[in-house]
Amino acid sequence: MTADSEQLRQVGDDLASHAPAGDPATAWQRRRDSYRVVGPLNRRKFSVIVVGTGLAGAGCAAALGELGYRVHAFTFHDAPRRAHSVAAQGGINAARGRTVDNDSIRRFVTDTVKGGDFRGREADAFRLAEESVHVIDHLNALGAPFAREYGGPLATRSFGGVQVSRTYYTRGQTGQQLQIAASQSLLRQVSAGNVSLYTRHEMLDLIVADGRAQGIVVRDLVTGEISAQTAHAVVLATGGYGTVFYQSTLARNSNATAAWRAHRRGAYLAGPSLVQFHPTALPVSAPWQSKTTLMSESLRNDGRIWVPARAGDDRPPGAIPEGERDYYLERKYPTYGNLTPRDVASRAAREQIESGHGVGPLRNSVYLDFADALERLGRATIAERYGNLFEMYRDATGEDPYRQPMRIAPAAHFTMGGLWSDYDQMTSVPGLFVGGEAGWGYHGANRLGANSLLSACVDGWFTLPYSVPNYLAGLLGEPVLPADHPAVVDAAADVRSRIDALTGIGGATGPAVFHRELGEILYRGCGVARSAESLTTALREIDDLSVRFWSDLRVTGGTGEFNQELERAGRVADFLELAHLMCLDALDRDESCGAHFRTEHQSPDGEALRNDDDWCFASAWETRPDGSAVRHREPLTFDAVGLQTRNYR
C-alpha cells in the first residue's frame, strides 16, 4: 500500500462471520437447527420490506408471503418480471450429480472457492452447493422449462472454471425463464393478499431507529411523491453496481442507489473494487454507444477463441489460414482451454488486444469461432443449443455467426463486492438483510459463470426465509415505527433535501455526460488491470469530476412528476461516491486476486499473485458522516479447500 492510500483510509475492528464453528460442510444444517422460529399464528404480526424483485427479491418475498408474513415488495420496474435477472442467459449451476462425471458437493465447493481466488467465505460456498440441489428441483416444479436429454433427465453443460457438467439451462434464456417462474410465484402471493407490490417506486434511503433498520423512503417514479414504509425488517435484493462503468452489460436503469444509501446509513460495503469483466461481451462499436451487450459464457462450450498470430493482420477471418491463428486460451491453458474462468479469459483477451492482435473495425475484440462445432455437430444442433443467442448477435451486428466468427471483448459485468453480511445474510445494521448480487459472500474475487442465478435463488428461496424469521422472533410484540416517528420524518426530509440540492444546481451539463466520463475514468484506472499509479490518478479525476458535477449539473423538469433526468442525477451522484470508494479499496488491497489484478503483483507468466500472509481477509468499508473511510476486515479461513495457487493450465 502506498503512503497516499494510507492517508485516505483508517483501519477499523475485525468482523465476525457468525458462521458456526467446526466443519464448514455441516455448518448450514447446524445453523438452521439453531434458528429460532415464529409460530404460524404470530407471523401475521410481522411485516418485512423486500426491495428488488429479481430472483433473490421475488423468491424471498414469495417465500415469506407463503409462510404467512406481511410483505411489502418494491421495484422501480413497471412489473417484477422486468428485473435484471432476465439477462443471465447461459445457465444455473447445481451439484445434483445426475451426470456421471464425478461431480459432488465437495467438488462444487472446491471450484467455487478456487474460482474466487480464496477471497470468499468457505462456509457460504458449502451452503451454496448444498442448496443448489433443492434450487433446481424447486424451479423445475415451478415450471421452468429446463432442457432435457432424450430420455427425460434434465440436461447440463459446462461453464468456465470447472471440468464437470453441472450447468442446467433453458437454451440461451435461462435467466428469463427463471425470472418468469419467480415472478409468477410472487404475483400468486400478491393475489392471495400476503404481499403488497409497489411498482415504479425507487428506494432512496434507509430508515434506522434504535440501532436497527425499520423502513425505507421511496419515490414514486410516476408522480414524484416521496413516502415512507416501515417494517420489522428490510431485505435489499437490488442487484449489482456494474453500471458505475457507464458501458456495462447491465440494463441502463440498473444502479447502486439503494445499496449505497444503506451504506451511508451504516451498512458496510465489502470489496467494492471486485468487479468482474465478462470476456464474452460484444465490443464497443461507436463512441455514442450507451452500453455493451452480453453474449452468454455458454457459447464457449463449442466456440473457439482466437486472434491472428501476426499483430496488425487485417485480413477477413476466413482468409487467415489455420496455421496463422493463435488459439491463445487453448495454448496457455490446455487443461481448461476456452472454459478458463472469466477473470483469466478477460485478462488474456486484453493482452491480445493491447499487443496489436485485436480484430474488427476498431481492433478492440477477439474472435469466437463456431466453424469447427458446426462441422462436427451440424447447424441444427448448434441452433438448438444457442439459436436465440446467434439471432441476438446477428440483430446487434448485422453479421451471421453461422458464416463468420463472432467478435467479443471484455466488458464490466458482475460485482462480487456488495453490502457486507454475516452468515445469516444480515448486514452491519441489525434488521437489514441482503440477497443476490447486492451481497458479497459466495464469489470472492471472481464469480464462476452460472453461479449468479444460483446464489440469487439460494438467498431468496432457501436462506433468507430461515434467517429473517430468526431475527423477527426476538421482536414479537414490537410495533412498527409510526409515520410521525422522528427517524421516519428525518429520513424523508433528507431525501427531499437531496433532490432539491440536485435540481437547484442550475448548471449546463446533463447527468449522462458526467456518468460517461466517470466510466471512462474507471475503465482506465480500475478496469481489467489496475496499478497504484492508475488508481491514484483515478481518485484525483473522480474528485475533480465530483466538484464539476455539483457545480454544473443540469436537471430539467420538475420534482413532482415523471422525470428520468432527476432519477439519473441521483444515481450518478451516488456512483461518484461509490467510484471513489472502489478505487480506494483497489489501492488499499496491495495484491492481485481474481478480478482484482494489480500489475505490480503478477507471477513471471502473468498470473495474479496473491499475498495470503497479509491479505487473506474480506475488506468491509464504513463511510462515516464526515466522508472518511474506515476499512474493517473479516479474516477468512479455509479448512476444506486448502490455500493454493490457482492453476488452470
Question: What is the set of active-site residues?
Answer: 342
Give the E-state strand segments of 224-286 in sequence order: 226-230, 233-236, 269-270, 275-281
DSSP three-state, residue 538? helix
Q: Which residue type occupies 538?
A: A
CB 582 within 8 A of CB 596: no
List phi, psi (to 5°) of 218: -130, 160
C-alpha distances out from residue 368 to 92, 311, 393, 570, Å: 22, 18, 12, 39
d(CA 558, CA 263): 28
C-alpha distances out from residue 72 to 311, 540, 646, Å: 57, 41, 44
List phi, psi (to 5°) of 530: -135, 165
CB 136 within 8 A of CB 160: no
Q: How many CB atoms lie within 10 A of CB 459?
A: 33
Q: How many CB atoms lie within 10 A of CB 106?
A: 14
d(CA 120, CA 611): 15
Rg value, the chain, Cα:
24
d(CA 135, CA 541): 44
- Check residue 11 and report its DSSP letter: E
The cell numbers describing 202, all together, are: 425507487
DSSP string, 290-358: ----B--GGGGGT-EEEEESSTT--S-GGGS-GGGEE-HHHHH-TTTGGG--HHHHHHHHHHHIIIII-
The candidate with the shortest Cα–Cα distance to 204, out of 547, 512, 554, 566, is 566
DSSP three-state, residue 32? helix
C-alpha distances out from residue 114 to 117, 274, 444, Å: 5, 15, 9
Q: How many CB atoms lie within 10 A of CB 584?
A: 24
Strands, sheet with 226-230, edge to edge from the N-terminal-most edge strand: 201-209, 212-220, 226-230
Q: Which residue type occupies 206?
A: L
**Residue 635 β-bridge partners:** 617
Q: Which residue has the cell 435489499?
A: 236
CB 620 within 8 A of CB 268: yes
Please give the helix or strand (H or E) that residue 456 lies within, else none: helix 451-457
